[in-house]
Structures are given as structure tokens and as C-alpha cells.
Amino acid sequence: MFTEDKYGAYAEYTVVPEHTTFHVKENVKIEDAATIGLAGMTAALGLFTESKLGLPTPENPNTGDRAVFINGASSSVGSFAVQLAKKAGLFVIGTAGSSIKVAKDAGADVVIDYRGKSTDDLVNLIKDAAKGKTLEHSYDAISERESFSLSCYVLPPQTTSKATFVLPIPKDLDSKGVTTTQTNVGTAHSVDAEFAERYYTLIADWMNEGSFKGNNVKIVPQGLNGVHSG
């Protein structure tokens, strides 16, 4: 395999920075722990780093009536974001489709089925679900088509409102004054290395004690030869 990134993972063995590794006990399945590295850290970076949403953290949890909206709460990144936000004491409002149960099992307080609803309908439902709590932050784990607008429109139209996305933000997005950022897990290797080391360790500790779970995985046979069928 040729790659310009020395930390590429499309291989049987790979070399990674020590700070991006963590230990799990025998009670944790390796395949479950393997889901943390990319999706779990993407969720943590977007929620807690100051350059993104800068929300209260599990180490210094929310003590007020703050809410966060997680678009795509049943997705891989989204379900991790739900678990992390709950660890931080936040009220979590999420959207999901056929996998609503995944978001609920992750701990979301309210999960709204987006199917068959317009952006305006969803905005009203999400605002109502906040139940008077302060909702100024969106984590968009989908980041496609109308989801960009939805993640901005549910927030007050002010620069202190923040929305972060896992994919590049359209240049023509009307954010209604909301501050927007893109979350990229690659910063765990550079500017957010210290944060990443701390949170990989925290998440591993939670998994070891059974208070944090990996995503549902399917083991595909034949190793790398099975990637295409997977």
C-alpha cells in the first residue's frame, strides 16, 4: 500500500503514535475497542476542544440547563457523541431514522425521527424538545445536504452559537450568524495530541469499567481481502 500518511491503517500492521493507543482489559472485546480510535475521538474533539464546540467536559461536567443537538445520533460518530455528552452532564437531543434505538441506548434524552419531515418541522421539534434549556451547540455527525442548515437553524442566530461538522462546510451555507467549524480527527496527531492522549485513556477506563460501549461491529472474514464485501 502506498500512502503519504505514515499512520495509514489499511494494512495488517501499522505504526501509530503512542499517545493514540490505549489498554483495555480482557472483559472488553478488541473489535469493540477498535471502533474508538477514529469515530470516538472525532466525537470527543468536536464536543470538547475549544476550537470546536468547547462544551463542558466529563472532567468538569455541566451543572446547569445546557443542551446539545446531535444530528445523526445513531451514526458511528453520533452515538459516541451522545455517550460523551451525557458523561459531561448535558441534555442530549438527537435525530435518527430507522436506528432510533441505537441513539436511545447510547443515552440520548430525546430522539426525533427525521423521516418524512421538512427542515422547518425538525427545527420546531428540536427547539420544543429543549424544554427551555440553553441550546447553543450542534454536532452534525451527518454533514450532508439539508443537515448543514438544520444544525445551524436550531440555534440562536448569534456568533456564540456553534455548530461543528464532520465534512467540509459548503461555501454557500447560510449559517444565520452561527459560528461553524469542521472537526477532523487528524488533529489528534498534531495540535490536539495532548487532548487525544487524555481522552483515549479516559474512554478506555470507561470501557474497562463497563460505562462506555463501542459501536456495533460485524467481523468480515478473510482480513483485508474481505474489505470489498464489507
The beta strands (E) that lie in 156-224 are given as 162-165, 179-182
Report pLDDT digits (tens) over 62-85: 999 999 999 999 999 999 999 999
The Cα–Cα gap between 133 and 191 comes to 32
Q: In the predicted model, is pLDDT for residue 13 greater than 90?
A: no
Residue 2: pLDDT band by 50, 70, 90 thresholds? very low
Mean residue pLDDT of the chain comes to: 93
110-118, long-range: CB < 8 A, 24+ apart: 111/73, 111/74
Q: What is the pLDDT of residue 16?
A: 84
Q: Is 89 exposed, middle or buried (0-12, 13-18, 19+ CB in 10 A)?
A: middle
Query: pTM of the predicted model, to two decimals?
Result: 0.92
170-175, long-range: CB < 8 A, 24+ apart: 173/148, 173/149, 174/149
Residue 5: pLDDT band by 50, 70, 90 thresholds? low
Residue 184: pLDDT band by 50, 70, 90 thresholds? very high
Q: In the predicted model, is pLDDT for residue 195 greater than 90?
A: yes
Least confident of 29-43, 120-134, 142-156: 29-43
Report pLDDT digits (tens) over 111-125: 999 999 999 999 999
Q: In the predicted model, is pLDDT for residue 11 greater than 90?
A: no
Q: What is the pLDDT of residue 130?
A: 96
Report pLDDT digits (tens) over 146-181: 999 999 999 999 999 999 999 999 999 999 999 999
Query: Is 96 strand, coil or helix?
Result: strand
Residue 4: pLDDT band by 50, 70, 90 thresholds? low
The class (CATH top level) of 24-214 is alpha beta
Minimal CA–CA distance to 103: which of 78, 140, 68? 78
Q: What is the pLDDT of residue 192?
A: 97
Q: Are 83 and 159 in contact (CB under 8 A)?
A: no
